[in-house]
Copies of this chain bind each other. A is one copy, B any other.
């Protein structure tokens, strides 16, 4: 991809602010006729790409919004999409979804495709590879272009855009505290590698809860699951090292796998070992015993992200970006003991 001309680059060329360029391209009277014409000619010369701003300028709304997610096999992302659909359909928009499959290149390609004039705005959650590479230039270009963007769940804190996240730290704290308060003393953590921000935040909550109850965080009780290898075997290794009496897992697959490993080793759930997961999907609901879990409210998250995006698309004025932090709650089922 050859470098795109952006509002920022035009602003630099003319030694004016981005907002002046934006106004000039919108043909606003606030900018002198001479400067307006020069900026417009320059943008045209360098083939300034029709983005939502240019599209809005020509009043050609597509009434479609784009969604870029890492994956749809996970229940959480499919619930977010349901929430997005709920709001967009009510407000007269359609939704197109592209998957990054956790790949940086695909994420870049998807965003490039969507912002070629096919959608009015974008809702995105960052791929694992992008988080590892720590390269966000494709998102930064959008923001420089004033392209309506809402990020959810896996976000970049530094971006000046609308964001919807859940309070991962508190969610994990509540789960771990519940295990402690129902009598667990050796609580294991089954999490992702640390570069996955949500995994890192949930680990933080787990450690905080232990410390606030005067317990030590023991790395021997922690598993950072490498998904290229067998999840089950990595959890079996935890049991070989150190048998826990409570397990907090950062998703439902890890949690139910841990529960199955424990039962096969002859432990009773929850009498011998209590288990709490994250995300309240069908795997948690259909487990036996049904899994106590941190409810992540994917549906609500999707609805909120869509409301923010459509408000931004439909607004005639500049709106300050918002960050919405949703609280989780603990759904207590039968994989944990009563207080």
Contact = CB atoms under 8 A, between A and B. Distances in A.
Nearest to A256: B286
A151 to B, nearest CB: 20
A244 to B, nearest CB: 19
17 contacts: A64-B113, A72-B72, A72-B97, A73-B78, A73-B82, A85-B99, A95-B98, A95-B99, A96-B113, A118-B118, A253-B282, A253-B286, A257-B286, A260-B286, A260-B288, A263-B288, A286-B287
Interface residues of A, number: 32
Given A73-B79, A288-B288, 19 more contacts: A64-B113, A72-B78, A73-B75, A78-B78, A85-B99, A89-B106, A95-B99, A96-B96, A96-B97, A96-B98, A97-B97, A97-B98, A253-B282, A253-B286, A257-B286, A260-B286, A282-B283, A283-B286, A286-B287
A110 interface: yes
A75 B72 CA distance: 9
A106 B99 CA distance: 21
Contact of A81 (B72, B75, B94): B72
A109 interface: yes
Interface in A85-125: 85, 89, 94-99, 101, 106, 109-110, 113, 118
Query: Which of the listed residues A75, A96, A263 has the most CB atoms from chain B within 10 Å of its own CB?
Result: A96
Contacts of A282: 253, 283
Contacts of A78: 72-73, 78
A145 to B, nearest CB: 21
A97 B75 CA distance: 17
Contacts of A64: 113
Nearest to A114: B96
Interface in A34-72: 64, 72
A283 B291 CA distance: 13
